[in-house]
Every structure is written in structure tokens, then in C-alpha cells.
């Protein structure tokens, strides 16, 4: 088991290196972070630009910069090298990438975790209901909304949810927040008030992000459950004289959950992608907006920081899913 | 020879005029069309017929294991108590307790995520209020009875760690768990190797001896039927077409279909020149049955009356042998070769298939 985990982690290293390298090259090729300085009016002295370029390591070739970013070996300033825990300088003023990303990470984690949990829970329940009552009105309605969710692009769904939230606030007396992860005065709140502030800000973005993930999982859960329900061992379980409830819970659901576990891991990465769009629409100061801002500022090291964080998250989620798979299904053994 | 030595009080299972229909997009599938049979204590009843003849569906209907879309009518009484129409909760008290069932494919009949000991103990606990350890002991004991070596250790195995024959023995052990009165075995050996089939039949026999249960053996393997059963029902297109004591039916079949089935069975004691006599054509569609006798399109002695009128089961012999053929009297002493053309010249046979509208059915050389 431990050997398996170590082997899996070793395999992810080249994947992460390849992913970061290609992204680095792409961001680097997308534009010049210093163009604002170069074309500033009144003109900025050449020495200033040169100094800024040196500070950002822009005076070195791309490959060397990637090497620097990865190891930090070959310079004396000691502010770069991800393997040493240093994120590198940012093009966005004096921003400290490490501090910025750790603040934003917690904010995004809140959204992604809530959305993934709700999406999974709801999807398993409705998927199972759909399968047990196949072709009933309930199934058809759920199927309709499932496909609707699959078909809707996140940015549009986010806009609709936001509109719906505003409408509800005006007509139903609800108090959903439509902008930001917290109120401007959050830093002054305490206890229950602070908690409710976070929750009210979470509702609409979570709903958006949840619906996109939910649709796919519920379809998958339905198919998986149907396959199990039509299997011979369910028929034998019924032939043994087990009550329907026991057959459903102990034999059908238990087995039908196994393939969904894999999908749940993929949902985490899908939620991270969705968070980029959702955070933009709801103006959250999270990882998603961090990424879009950094791309707009040609901030290669900041984009890399996002990539490392999300990469570790996705790899971790997949590893947990695979280990869970082994726990749920005795046919799979890691040794 | 079985000649009704048991009084009627020994009647375990009485199925009367059982009908099962499935509404589908193409129309109503008439899977079972009025089947009646009886099962007495200690008896083995064989139900034979080809795929789609309704033999499995009729027993699944008795167990209440058909999908909800099935429309079932008629009557199935277990020791005088009507089973059809019982709620699922009430039926679950009968299933596995009074009637147990063994299914065709042992590879898929057991849940992949629980040990076989757990699945056996579960069957015991479903009907008995005993401690879990007692149920586990019973599971080990059952595994021993069906001939699984090292039952204590094997009880902790998962199904994927066992061979097909072993798994079918586990399924048989599950069926025995609560000493049922009736065991329905639905093609118990079909999915297995020929070498393993005999062992599984043996396990089935010891299950029967151990529990004293009567058995319904559903199969299309006439060899299995001949060696095991007391009475046999031949099904075709959702109906019984012939029934009686096994010797009667095998040595004096009075329905052309039974005769054809026997003629298509390879025999070890036959000479090399002995040819099989296949039945030309395929079974009719259960959505759109032909008028009159359902076998008439394939029958070599078909007459106009066969197309107009579906024959009922006529009493044709001493031992309660019944046959659904207008011309059952003509079949006294008939041999398969008298009715069906043997596979003498393959070209001729292929041509006859094409005449019957079967372009793709090229029979194999069978000597």
C-alpha cells in the first residue's frame, strides 16, 4: 500500500514538470510584462526598465528562467526556486506571490469544497432515485435538468444564478450576496455574524459551481446504479429473501458507488476550472481571479504558482479516489 | 417410473394457467401463455425448451422476481397459499425460505464486494433470528456440504477468487441455507465446462438430499434431464406442448417438437452413420405469434387444422402424459427420422433453410 502510494507520487513528478514547463513557455510567449513600462508616457528611463527586467529575471533566456523557477540554483538573490519553497518575483507591482496565493487559496477552497460536496451528495441521491424509478416522471424530470446542466456553459449559468439571486433578494426578502467572498466589513465581524456573512456569500457561487459538476455525476450515478440493479447478484440477493431496502442499500448502492468515486476526483479539477469563471462573475478574490489577473499581466511565476497549487490538489484528489477504490472494491488490491 | 404415488396433500407447488406478458415498444411480448404444472414433495420436475420458450420467465414469475413492467395472471400456489399478487415484503419471507432459486451464470450471481461467507450468512439471517456467529458457522457447514474444500478458509474468499464451478456451488449452498421445500434451478450447468457440470449436478443432488426439497430443473440440456428428473415439461413459444414421466416422454414422444428435440441430440451410442435431424426454422416471435399451433410453421406433418386451431393438451398415455398436437395418435412409435429429414446432404439442407426464409443458417456437418 505504502509502496503503491510512493510509486504513484513518483509518477506524478514528471507530469507536473511537463505541465509547468509547457505552461511557462506559453505564458512567456504570450507577451512582454514590461511593455507598459516601455511605452509609458512620459517615457521611463532605460535603466529603470533594465533594472525591472533584471529583478524579474527577464534578462535570461526562457529555459534558464524555467530552471531558475524550478530549482533557484544559479542566482544570488534567493527569491526564486519552487523546490526551495520560493515562488519568484511578480510582475504585478510588489505582490508577494506566496502570501497572496495562500490567502486566496483558502477562499477558493471554501467554494470548491462546498460545491463538490453538495454536487456529489445531490448527484448520488438523484442518480439513485432516477435509476430505481427508471422512466418514471421523476426520472424524466431529473434527466431533463441533468442534460440542461450538462449543456449550459458555466459563465452563462453563473450570470443566470446571479440574476436569480438578485430577483430573490428583491422579491422574496432573501439576502444573498452577489459580489465578493465576504462583505467589505468582514474584518470587523465576529462569531455568528462572520459565519453568516461567509455563508450568504457562498450560496450563489456554490450553486453555480455545483450545478455544473452535479449534472455529470448524477447521469453517471444513474447509469452505474441501473447496471447494478439489472445484475444477476441483485436478483440473487432478492431470491435469498432480503428485504428490498436491504438489497438496495447493502448490495446495489454499495457497488454502484464504486465507479462514481473515480468521477468525484475528476470533479475536484472540474470545480477548480469552474471556479475561475464563477469567481470572475461573482467578483471573488480567489485563485480563479488570481489566475485571470496574472495571465493578463503576463505574470509567468504567478500563473505557475496557481498551476502548482491546483496540480497538487488534483493529484491528491485522484490518489485519494484510487485508494478509496481499493477499499470499496475487494477485486482491487495495491501491492 | 413415477406413477403418482403421492396423495394430493403432498402437492407443494401448483401453477395454474400462468400468463406473463411484457409490454414493449414493438407490441406485447407473450412470454408465457397459460402454463399449468404441479410439483410434489421429493419430486424433480424438468422444464425443457429452447431460449425464449418461457421456461425461465414462468419460474421467475412464481418467485416474484420479474420486472415491474411484467403483467402476470393466473395462479401459483405454494402449499395452498397463493403467491401471485403478494406484496414484495410478503414474498421476501417466502423467497429463500420456502422456495430458493439457483441461477444460470455463477460468475455474475454473487456480489463482487462481499465474501462468500458473508453472502451465505446473510441468506441464513434473512429468515432466522440467530446470532451472527451461528449464521457464519452454518455458512461454513453449507460450504462443506456442497463440496468446497477448506470451508473455514474459503468462507473468507471473495467470489473473484473462486472458479466458476466453485461459485455455482456457493450459489447452491445459498439456496440450501434455510432448508427450502422447493429449489428452482434455472440452467444451473449451462455456463459451466462440461467437466464441471457433473460435479455441480452432484452438489445439486446432495443439496436435495440434505434439504429434502423438491426441485424444478430448467434446462435445454436433455442429457441433464434424462439423468435427473422424474417428470418433464416441454415448453414451446410460452406454452407447455408435452408433459409426462420422463421415460414416457423420451421414449414415446407424442408431439412433433419433442420428437425433433430428441432427434437433434447427439448420442454416444449411435453408429457413425447415424445422422441428427435438425428442426428447420426458428421459434416464432412472441410478439406476433402464428395462428393455430405455434409450431405449425416448422412442423413436418402440418395440416390445415393446425393453422386454424391451437391444440390443447390432450391426454395421450397412461401415466398422465399430455401432448398438444392434433395428430398425437399418428406419432405412436414414431422415430425422429420418420418426420424430420436427417442432415444427409448439406446442400439440400441449406436449400431447405433458404426456402424457409433463413438465408444465414448454414448448418454444420454433424456426424
Domains of chain A: 34-90 (no CATH), 100-328 (1.10.3720.10)
Task: Check residue B37 and give its pLDDT.
Answer: 92
Q: Which of B113, B171, B177 sits opposite A329 (nearest CB)?
A: B113
Instruction: Please answer yes or no on whether A242 and B92 come within 8 Å at the CB atom.
Output: yes
The residue among B23, B60, B78, B92 with the most chain A CBs within 10 A of its CB, best to mutate, is B92
B256-314, pLDDT tens digit by residue?
999 888 888 877 776 666 678 888 888 888 888 888 899 988 888 888 999 988 998 88
3-state secondary structure of A328: helix
CA proximity to B76, closest of B15, B10, B33? B15
Looking at residue A42, what DSSP letter applies?
S
| Chain B residues within an 8 Å CB radius of A238 | 65, 92, 95
Please enumerate residues of B whose Cβ is less than 8 A from a Cβ of A: 63, 65, 88-89, 92-97, 100-101, 103, 105, 108-113, 115, 122-123, 126-127, 158, 160, 171, 174, 177-178
Task: Check residue B1 and give its pLDDT.
Answer: 43
User: Which region holds residue A106: left if phi is over 0, alpha if psi is between -120 and 50, else beta?
Assistant: alpha
Instruction: Please answer yes or no on whether B96 and A240 come within 8 Å at the CB atom.
Output: yes
Burial class (CB in 10 A: 0-12, 13-18, 19+), A213: buried
State what percent of residues in chain B have pLDDT above 90. 44
Q: Which of A237, A239, A243 sits opposite B100 (nearest CB)?
A: A239
| Chain A residues within an 8 Å CB radius of B158 | 330-331
Question: What average pLDDT does chain B have?
Answer: 86
User: How far off is chain B from A132, nearest CA to CA, in Å?
Assistant: 11
| Chain A residues within an 8 Å CB radius of B101 | 236, 239
Given a cut of 60, whether residue B359 has pLDDT beyond it is no
Instruction: Please answer yes or no on whether A330 and B113 come within 8 Å at the CB atom.
Output: yes
| Chain B residues within an 8 Å CB radius of A237 | 111
DSSP secondary structure of A98-130? HHHHHHHHHHHHHHHHHHHHHHHHHHHHHHHHH
Determine phi and psi for A334, rounding to 5 degrees. -105, 100
Instruction: Please answer yes or no on whether A238 and B92 come within 8 Å at the CB atom.
Output: yes
How far CA A234 is from CA of A247, A313, B119, B361, in Å, comes to 7, 37, 12, 36
The ranges assigned to domains in chain B are 10-229, 255-318+329-355
CA proximity to A314, closest of A256, A258, A275, A257? A275
Q: Are strands B81-82 and B71-78 parallel, antiparallel or unpaired?
A: antiparallel
Given a cut of 70, whether residue B350 has pLDDT beyond it is no
Cell, residue A63: 529555459
The residue among B94, B109, B142 with the most chain A CBs within 10 A of its CB, best to mutate, is B109
B188-222, pLDDT tens digit by residue?
888 888 888 888 888 888 888 888 899 999 988 88
The number of beta carbons lying within 10 Å of the beta carbon of residue B58 is 29
The residue among B23, B67, B69, B111 with the most chain A CBs within 10 A of its CB, best to mutate, is B111
Task: Check residue A5 and give its pLDDT.
Answer: 85
B86-138, pLDDT tens digit by residue?
998 999 999 999 999 998 888 889 999 999 999 999 999 999 999 999 999 99
| Chain B residues within an 8 Å CB radius of A257 | none
Question: CA A133 to CA A222: how far, in whole Å?
Answer: 10
For cell 474584518, the residue is A187
User: How far off is chain A from B147, nearest CA to CA, in Å?
Assistant: 21
B37-81, pLDDT tens digit by residue?
999 988 999 999 888 888 899 999 999 999 888 999 999 999 888
The number of beta carbons lying within 10 Å of the beta carbon of residue B10 is 15
CA geometry: angle at B14 spanning B10 and B15, to 5°? 165
Instruction: Please answer yes or no on whether A329 and B110 come within 8 Å at the CB atom.
Output: no
Instruction: Please answer yes or no on whether A241 and B95 come within 8 Å at the CB atom.
Output: yes
pLDDT band of residue B4 (cuts 50, 70, 90) is: very low
Strands lying side by side in the sheet with B27-40: B27-40, B11-24, B71-78, B81-82
Q: Which of B93, B108, B110 sits opposite A241 (nearest CB)?
A: B93
B156-182, pLDDT tens digit by residue?
999 999 998 899 999 999 999 999 999
Each residue's pLDDT, cut to its tens digit, for chain A (335 residues) gives 788 888 888 888 888 889 889 989 998 888 888 888 888 888 888 888 888 888 888 888 889 889 989 888 877 787 888 888 888 888 888 788 989 999 899 899 889 999 999 999 999 999 999 998 888 899 999 989 888 888 888 889 999 999 999 999 999 888 888 888 888 888 888 888 888 988 899 999 999 988 888 888 898 999 999 999 999 999 999 999 999 999 999 999 989 988 888 888 878 878 888 888 899 899 998 998 899 999 888 888 999 999 888 888 888 888 888 888 888 888 887 76
CATH number, domain B10-229: 3.40.50.300
Task: Check residue B365 and give its pLDDT.
Answer: 46
Question: CA A20 to CA A307: how far, in whole Å?
Answer: 7
User: How far off is chain A from B111, nearest CA to CA, in Å?
Assistant: 5
Task: Check residue B43 and give its pLDDT.
Answer: 92
E strand map for chain A: 80-81, 86-87
Instruction: Please answer yes or no on whether B88 and A231 come within 8 Å at the CB atom.
Output: no
Task: Check residue A314 and give its pLDDT.
Answer: 84
Cell, residue A20: 509547468
Q: Read off the pLDDT of each residue in B9-30 and give the average, rounded to a whole number.
A: 89
Cell, residue B55: 421456461
Task: Check residue B6 and give its pLDDT.
Answer: 36
A313-327, pLDDT tens digit by residue?
888 888 888 888 888
State what percent of residues in chain B have pLDDT above 70. 89
Size of interface A-B (CB pairs under 8 A): 75
User: How far off is chain B from A246, nearest CA to CA, in Å?
Assistant: 10
Task: Check residue B361 and give its pLDDT.
Answer: 46
| Chain A residues within an 8 Å CB radius of B177 | 240
For cell 439571486, the residue is A165
Amino acid at each position: 500500500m505504502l509502496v503503491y502510494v510512493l510509486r504513484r507520487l513518483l509518477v506524478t513528478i514528471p507530469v507536473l514538470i511537463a505541465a509547468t514547463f509547457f505552461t511557462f513557455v506559453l505564458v512567456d510567449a504570450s507577451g512582454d510584462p514590461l511593455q507598459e513600462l516601455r511605452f509609458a508616457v512620459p517615457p521611463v528611463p532605460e535603466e529603470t526598465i533594465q533594472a525591472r527586467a533584471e529583478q524579474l529575471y527577464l534578462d535570461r533566456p526562457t529555459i534558464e528562467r524555467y530552471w531558475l523557477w524550478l530549482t533557484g540554483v544559479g542566482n544570488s538573490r534567493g527569491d526564486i526556486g519552487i523546490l526551495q519553497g520560493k515562488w519568484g518575483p511578480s510582475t504585478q507591482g510588489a505582490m508577494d506571490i506566496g502570501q497572496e496565493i495562500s490567502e486566496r487559496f483558502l477562499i477558493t477552497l471554501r467554494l470548491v469544497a462546498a460545491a463538490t460536496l453538495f454536487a456529489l451528495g445531490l448527484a448520488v441521491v438523484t442518480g439513485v432515485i432516477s435509476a430505481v424509478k427508471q422512466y418514471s416522471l421523476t426520472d424524466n424530470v431529473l434527466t431533463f435538468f441533468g442534460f440542461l446542466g450538462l449543456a449550459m456553459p458555466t459563465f452563462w449559468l453563473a450570470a443566470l444564478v446571479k440574476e436569480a439571486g438578485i430577483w430573490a433578494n428583491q422579491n422574496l426578502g432573501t439576502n444573498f450576496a452577489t459580489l465578493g467572498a465576504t462583505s467589505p466589513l468582514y474584518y470587523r465581524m465576529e462569531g455568528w455574524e462572520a459565519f453568516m456573512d461567509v455563508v450568504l456569500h457562498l450560496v450563489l457561487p456554490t450553486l453555480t459551481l455545483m450545478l455544473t459538476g452535479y449534472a455529470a455525476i448524477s447521469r453517471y450515478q444513474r447509469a452505474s446504479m441501473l447496471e447494478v440493479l439489472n445484475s444477476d447478484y441483485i436478483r440473487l440477493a432478492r431470491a435469498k429473501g432480503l428485504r428490498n431496502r436491504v438489497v438496495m442499500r447493502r448490495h446495489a448502492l454499495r457497488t454502484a458507488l464504486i465507479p462514481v468515486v473515480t468521477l468525484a476526483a475528476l470533479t475536484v479539477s472540474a470545480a477548480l476550472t469552474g471556479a475561475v469563471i464563477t469567481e470572475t462573475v461573482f467578483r471573488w478574490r480567489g485563485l480563479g481571479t488570481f489566475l485571470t489577473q496574472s495571465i493578463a499581466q503576463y505574470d509567468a511565476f504567478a500563473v505557475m504558482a496557481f498551476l502548482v497549487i491546483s496540480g497538487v490538489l488534483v493529484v491528491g484528489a485522484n490518489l485519494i479516489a484510487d485508494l478509496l477504490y481499493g477499499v470499496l472494491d475487494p477485486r482491487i488490491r495495491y501491492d | 417410473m413415477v406413477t403418482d404415488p403421492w396423495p394430493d396433500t403432498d402437492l407443494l407447488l401448483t401453477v395454474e394457467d400462468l400468463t406473463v406478458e411484457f409490454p414493449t415498444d414493438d407490441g406485447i411480448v407473450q412470454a408465457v401463455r397459460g402454463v399449468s404444472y404441479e410439483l410434489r414433495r421429493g419430486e424433480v420436475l424438468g422444464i425443457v425448451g429452447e431460449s425464449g420458450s418461457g421456461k425461465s420467465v414462468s419460474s421467475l414469475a412464481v418467485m416474484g422476481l420479474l420486472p415491474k413492467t411484467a403483467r402476470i395472471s393466473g395462479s401459483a400456489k405454494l402449499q395452498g397459499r397463493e403467491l401471485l399478487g403478494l406484496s414484495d415484503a410478503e414474498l421476501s419471507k417466502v423467497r429463500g425460505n420456502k422456495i430458493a432459486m439457483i441461477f444460470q451464470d455463477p460468475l455474475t450471481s454473487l456480489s463482487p464486494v462481499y465474501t462468500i461467507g458473508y453472502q451465505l450468512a446473510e441468506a441464513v439471517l434473512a429468515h432466522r433470528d440467530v446470532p451472527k456467529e451461528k449464521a457464519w458457522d452454518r455458512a461454513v457447514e453449507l460450504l462443506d456440504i456442497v463440496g468446497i474444500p477448506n470451508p473455514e478458509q474459503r468462507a473468507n474468499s471473495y467470489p473473484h477468487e473462486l472458479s466458476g464451478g466453485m461459485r455455482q456451488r456457493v450459489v447452491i449452498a445459498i439456496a440450501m441455507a434455510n432448508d427450502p421445500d422447493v429449489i428452482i434451478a434455472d440452467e444451473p450447468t449451462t455456463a459451466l465446462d462440461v467437466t464441471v457440470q457433473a460435479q455441480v449436478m452432484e452438489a445439486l443432488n446432495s443439496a436435495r438430499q440434505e434439504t429434502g426439497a423438491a426441485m424444478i430443473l430448467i434446462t435445454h440440456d436433455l442429457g441433464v434431464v434424462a439423468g435427473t428428473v422424474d417428470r418433464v415439461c416441454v415448453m414451446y413459444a410460452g406454452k407447455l406442448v408435452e408433459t409426462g414421466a420422463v421415460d414416457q416422454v423420451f421414449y414415446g414422444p407424442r408431439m412433433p417438437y419433442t420428437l425433433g428435440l430428441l432427434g437433434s441430440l447427439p448420442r454416444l451410442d449411435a453408429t457413425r452413420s447415424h445422422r441428427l435431424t435438425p428442426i428447420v426454422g426458428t421459434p416464432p416471435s412472441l410478439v406476433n405469434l402464428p395462428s393455430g399451433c405455434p409450431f405449425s410453421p416448422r412442423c413436418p406433418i402440418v395440416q390445415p387444422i393446425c393453422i386454424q386451431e391451437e391444440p390443447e393438451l390432450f391426454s395421450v398415455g397412461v401415466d398422465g402424459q399430455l401432448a398438444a398436437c392434433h395428430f398425437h395418435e399418428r406419432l405412436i412409435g414414431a422415430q425422429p427420422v420418420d418426420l424430420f429429414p436427417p442432415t444427409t446432404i448439406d446442400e439440400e439442407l441449406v436449400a431447405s433453410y433458404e426456402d424457409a426464409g433463413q438465408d444465414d443458417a448454414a448448418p454444420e456437418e454433424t456426424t
